[in-house]
Amino acid sequence: MNKLEEICATKREEVAARKQERSLSDLETAIRAQTPPRGFQAALARAQDDRFGLIAEIKKASPSKGLIRADFEPAAHARAYAAGGAACLSVLTDAPYFQGHEDYLIAAREACDLPVLRKDFMVDPWQVAEARALGADAILIIVAALDDSVMAEIEAAALDHSMDVLIEVHDAAEMDRAARLSSRLIGVNNRDLKTFTTDLATTEQLAPRAPAESLLVGESGISSHADCARLADSGVRSFLVGESLMRQADVAAATRTLLHG
């Protein structure tokens, strides 16, 4: 079993337990009390028309790096990312592997007016309703983790709630499977899921294979303006960046430097 399979197996158990505690109708009630989705893909598209689109990630820890930031303050990081010019936020909510929490998403979304992606391992459409109930504006579908039918069900649930879907691929076969979904917001993960090493060439190689009219996002291992400029040469003008920004003392300044050099 590779790490992704292990994480998803743990997630299935977690979701089974949560479903016992919270019915779908209970979630629907919470959703009605939520503010409407903020338009994640539209915000990213506007930003990259102007310059670069940044999805800045609120990430406390990861399986490969352990604790990334000790003085972890989701609301303060959200405000710093917004001040630095990020178009959108991504907030890790997976607890067992990333030390994330739903409360971090709620706090980050309340602290600014950027659209927020719930970064978690979606294995069941129920989680989409849960994400919207928390306020999430977008969810992630990891193609490597799902078969085609579950993927389509999760996407349909998100579109039903007027949320955007970031579809994550990391090889050519996954890009072809992503093309069969309807979302055209496609992230190429530069991180090899087996070795955890990152290589920006992954985005460069897969970008030409994306369906027409896709909004492409380069994900993982991006740490400088030069990295962004390099990926822009292959037509990718939006980026998902976590660790390199989370490690900075002045997150707002680092975000500005990443975007503007």
Ligand X SMILES: O=P(O)(O)OC[C@@H](O)[C@@H](O)c1c[nH]c2ccccc12
Q: Does the protein bind ligand X through residue 171 (CB under 6 A)?
A: no
Question: Is 234 considered catalytic here?
Answer: no
Question: Is 213 considered catalytic here?
Answer: no
Q: Are 119 and 90 in contact (CB under 8 A)?
A: yes
CB of 242 to ligand X, least distance (A): 3
Q: Does the protein bind ligand X through residue 227 (CB under 6 A)?
A: no
What's 84-119 look like in SS3? HCCCEEEEECCHHHHCCCHHHHHHHHHHCCCCEEEE
CB of 65 to ligand X, least distance (A): 8
Q: Where are the strands (E) in 18-161, listed by range? A: 53-58, 61-62, 66-67, 88-92, 116-119, 138-142
Among 37, 74, 135, 221, binds ligand X (CB under 6 A): 221
Please choose, out of 23-31, 76-84, 234-242, 253-261, the segment that lies near ligand X by the rule CB under 6 A: 234-242
Q: Does the protein bind ligand X through residue 37 (CB under 6 A)?
A: no
Question: Is 220 considered catalytic here?
Answer: yes
Q: Which of 11, 59, 102, 243 is catalytic?
A: 59
Q: Which of 102, 130, 155, 168 is catalytic?
A: 168
Q: Are 228 and 259 in contact (CB under 8 A)?
A: yes
Q: Does the protein bind ligand X through residue 100 (CB under 6 A)?
A: no
Question: Is 189 considered catalytic here?
Answer: yes
Question: Is 3 considered catalytic here?
Answer: no
CB of 78 to ligand X, least distance (A): 16
Q: How many residues bind to ligand X according to rule CB under 6 A?
A: 15
Closest C-alpha to 226, from 252, 260, 192: 260
Q: Does the protein bind ligand X through residue 202 (CB under 6 A)?
A: no
Q: Are 119 and 100 in contact (CB under 8 A)?
A: yes
Footprint on this chain of ligand X (rule: CB under 6 A): 57, 59, 119, 142, 168, 189, 219-222, 240-244
Q: Which positions are annotated as active-site residues?
A: 57, 59, 119, 168, 189, 219-220
